[in-house]
Amino acid sequence: MAARPSTYLCGEDLEVKVDFTPRKAQLHLREKNYTLQRVKSAHDGHYVNSKEGLDLLANKGDLQLREGKNQLQCKLQITP
């Protein structure tokens, strides 16, 4: 069963879509798709793609996305 991608709003107008699986996260960011691998860490939902410099921390409705040196705080968008 495939999960529906979750949509997060980062800052004022950056929309990010993430599709989580137990081992990976598919991230759609600025018209590009990235695959991040889940890593074991102190945080439960921690995914990284070191080649692209992406680091994602998911915690319930909050998402923290590090893109190189940029850190984005994102909130889950509830779609009816």
Q: What is the separation of C-alpha 23 from the centre of its chain, rounded to a whole number of angstroms?
A: 13
- For the chain, the first-to-last Cα distance in angstroms comes to 21
Domain presence at residue 17:
yes
Tell me, yes or no, if the pTM score tops 0.75.
yes
Distance CA 46, CA 24 (A): 10
Domain presence at residue 46:
yes
Domain presence at residue 65:
yes
Tokens of 34: 């990235």
Domain presence at residue 78:
no
Over residues 17-72, the pLDDT tens digits come to 999 988 999 999 999 999 999 999 887 799 999 999 999 999 989 999 999 999 99
Neighbouring-strand partners of residue 33: 28
- Domain with 63, as residue range(s), is 6-72
Q: How many domains does the chain have?
A: 1
Domain presence at residue 79:
no
Domain presence at residue 58:
yes
Over residues 2-21, the pLDDT tens digits come to 567 899 999 989 999 999 98
